Chain A
Amino acid sequence: MRVIAGALALTVALSAAAGAQSNEDKYKKKLEKEFVSKVEWVTSLEKAQEAAAAQNKLIFGYFTRSYSP
């Protein structure tokens, strides 16, 4: 019984690790997409705000996700 429970816990832990890894991979893949390289995106809102204030421009925010298509 203990062996089964241990195996189950290990499976869950490995799945979680694989999921986290997978989300990192997906994020990296997202950053490699062509639309990212087309424009000089700022990825920190704080820096975007500083640039907007300095250049008297609006910020265009594009909110997307990488964990799911």
Chain B
Amino acid sequence: MDIQSLIPLMYLVASVLFIFGLKKMGHPRTAVQGNLLGALGMLLAIGAALFDVNMQALAAGFGVDRTHYVLIAIGIVVGSVIGAVMAQRVQMTAMPQMVALFNGLGGAASVLVAGGAMAQDATPTITELVATAASAIIGAVTFWGSLVAYGKLQELTWFKRPYPVPAGQLVNALLALLTLAASAWLVAENSLPAYIVTALLASVLGVLLVNPIGGADMPVVIALLNSYSGLAASATGFAIENNVLIISGALVGASGIILTQLMCRAMNRSLTHVLFGVMDAGGASASTDEVYATVRSTTPDDVAMILDGAQRVVIVPGYGLAVAQAQHAVRTLQRVLEDRGCTVEYAIHPVAGRMPGHMNVLLAEADVPYEQLKEMDEINPTMSNVDVAIVIGANDVVNPVARTDPKSPIAGMPIIDVDKAKTVIVLKRSLSPGFAGIPNPLFAAPNTLMLFADGQKGVLELNAAIREASK
């Protein structure tokens, strides 16, 4: 058997390794192994590609220039070093922008590959041309959209607020039409300039599409861009007729779509509303003063006394906890409570962080065992058995208005039912509203006590008070 017939088999094995790797991502115990399987698959695919080049060159009637292998080696080393340094240095709180950036790079690479392959292929089939156009559009949208998402998540001053584009949706629609026209030109004429025009138009479209999308919707955008980066790879696979690209791209595309759906459902937002930056306008809700008339504030010492008799405590973290870097303090709180025979669990809302599953990673970094991280659907039915629920840095995801007021902007959004717990402690700096911009009646509920403090400092004071009380 010669190496020529081995190459497709190597690609196949790589694809299988990717699928097994993703399958093993299904449990924290096997996930590390799954990731390594994926990396192994990638290594195999790269190895196959290096020999594939020879074969394709031979089929075209020329040999591969050795200097090109040097180029490939340079690219691999430089890219690996940059990627490794970035992966080592990134803070877990900055993970969303990191993933956005990597998505974008993948998209950009797909655009370049499709363009380069088009320049090399003298007699492309119509399928290849259509795929090339798709690759240009999806890849460019992914790249530029991801860069804007990165800027927003990194809170760079340029991206603080969306650029006002007059009649934004009309402009987007026109741009989309122009992009399609350019790709039609590309397919009809097999022209490289048309390819460049298509990619450029799609770039502008990518920027404008993500531009109006606000902070709370970022988890959806990242998941969607993740899906796009896969689809771009898949389109490139069609363009250069390579199955491993088609398969892996499809896997990633499917994964991104699933996560996008989950995020939309968790926020009770439709994808179209997210994409077009529509904030679901609410009816007249009660005024802030009215809602907060009966708010009761408390002190760490009082909370320590309440916790003294508690058997089951649930901690509900929000992104505010991560902003205040309070994860480790919360982990200590958990230990202090557990030492006194109390059961402690964490109730994690799907959009508690800034990307799917973000809060779990932040807590895992603080050594919270994953068994204690409970999903919303898992913990809600048992919420009435909870003695004390401690809400830290979360707001909209525990707002009971989502259940009670059908006119509210968050009506129907699934929430963690902390209001059903016997006592609720809300640790928060002030009564300021969350992303939805509405007051939260939970804060004024008869079973709620507000502990006004900065996240980390508040938890540390609470820990000290509990230790003091148990002496």
**Interaction A to B:** no
